[in-house]
Amino acid sequence: MSERIGIYPGTFDPITLGHADIIRRGSKLVDRLIIGVTTNPSKNPMFTFEERCEMVRAEVDRLEIDHVEIVGFNALLMKFARKQGANVIIRGLRAVADFEYEYQMAGMNQQIDDEIETVFLMADVSLQPIASKLVKEIALFGGDISPFVSADVRDQVVARVEKIGRLGDY
């Protein structure tokens, strides 16, 4: 049997405890898991591409999983997956809205390359509400994000918010 190589793609801006849960669980399904940190033109990231790659690398090191690597990419996911020799795309689902979007993406990806399967992992129940976008919003309004991210990521987000300025005074 050939090596099972999985790709878990995302912008990870910032990486959350939900992402870490999918990485931990997804790594059990494959021989090698590549975390594909990507740029996304439709998003306005708080952190640079390099900062996000380093943040993900630090979180993966904290998980102590030896067959996970971080690779940045700026290409069509299926082309990136093919270049990496992947045969599985791993995606995390939080809610029905995620499923609708991911289902459509999986269908499009299958049209591009039907040899690469998409596997959906449901987020742990306690982590389902976590979204990077909401973490940033909470931080920008001065809220506590420690239930949603690791202490290191929290410190980086708080430092960035201090640099760019908080929103609101309530």
Task: Give the chain as a 3 state SS string.
Answer: CCCCEEEEEECCCCCCHHHHHHHHHHCCCCCEEEEEEECCCCCCCCCCHHHHHHHHHHHHHHHCCCCEEEEEECCCHHHHHHHHCCCEEEEEECCHHHHHHHHHHHHHHHHHCCCCEEEEEECCHHHCCCCHHHHHHHHHCCCCCCCCCCHHHHHHHHHHHHHHCCCCCC
pLDDT tens, the chain, 170 aa long: 689 999 999 999 999 999 999 999 999 999 999 999 998 767 789 999 999 999 999 999 999 999 999 999 999 999 999 999 999 999 999 877 778 888 899 999 999 999 999 999 998 888 888 999 999 999 999 999 999 999 999 999 999 999 988 776 54
Where in the chain are the domains? 5-164
Rounded CA gap, 155 and 164, in Å? 14
Whether CATH 3.20.20.10 fits 5-164:
no
Catalytic residues: 19, 43, 94, 132
Amino acid symbol at 124: D
The Cβ of residue 89 has, within 10 Å, a number of other Cβ atoms equal to 25
